[in-house]
Amino acid sequence: MAFYRLVTALVLILNTGGSLEAEVRSSIIGGHDAPKGKWPWMAHLNITSDGKNRWRCGGTILSDQWVLTAANCWNRQPGPNMKHSFLSVGSHNLKQESARYMQIDTVMTHPEYRAQGSGYVNDIALVKLRKKLIFSQIVAPVTLPSIDDTFGSSSECWITGWGNIGTNGNQDGGMDACKGDYGGPLVCRKGGDYVQVGVMSYGSCGLSGRPGVYTQVSKYLRFINDYIKKDSAEV
């Protein structure tokens, strides 16, 4: 039986084009246990097509009813069954009884999302919950970057994901995101706060010379805000 707990790793951003590449040499390959409550925006998506076949993804809390993740988490055949899929927050270990389980209402993938080569383009999606979250010290929204924010090799950045305890990844390249981590955040320090710079899109699970690739959040602020602000205006 697999047991998963929150794992984190400090990474180096290589470039800031339409997507981000992180030279990370931990699932997460080469990381370490995250301090409890350190990343209160971290969410876990348990997705299924039929109640039996399941896959995991990460996500981040944007507001009391919206979560940010990767579009590729939903692009599976057969497609996800929203009635039986769910999201959990407030978790440090996925076997914890303290986790809050939330039903999913709808998923909005970017209209121009597509697979390209061995990766994806516009790999970003929004998940709307059926009920609103109640924030606490261990459940809180992430801060988004501004369109002008820039981060690079001198920035302090971290990736977080749900590591499988006892499973050894390929550590030839050091640290990286792996299966089950996609959709999770790349956050960087900005002043005394953290902002979400990227969404885990795809990677090589630690293979040397093949950095993980992240969707650059600042390029999609309009996509994100259009849905969240429209939803708030309708309340």
Of 177, 163, 183, residue with least CA distance to 22:
177
230 phi and psi, to 5 degrees? Answer: -65, -40
**Domains in the chain, ordered, with CATH?**
4-234 (2.40.10.10)
* Structure confidence by residue, pLDDT tens digits, 52-99: 788 889 999 999 999 999 999 998 878 888 888 999 998 887 776 567
CA dist 38 and 177 (Å) reads 19
Which residues, in sequence order, are CB contacts of 171 under 8 Å at separation 6+? 25, 26, 29, 30, 206
* Structure confidence by residue, pLDDT tens digits, 93-114: 777 656 788 999 999 999 999 9
Confidence (pTM): 0.85
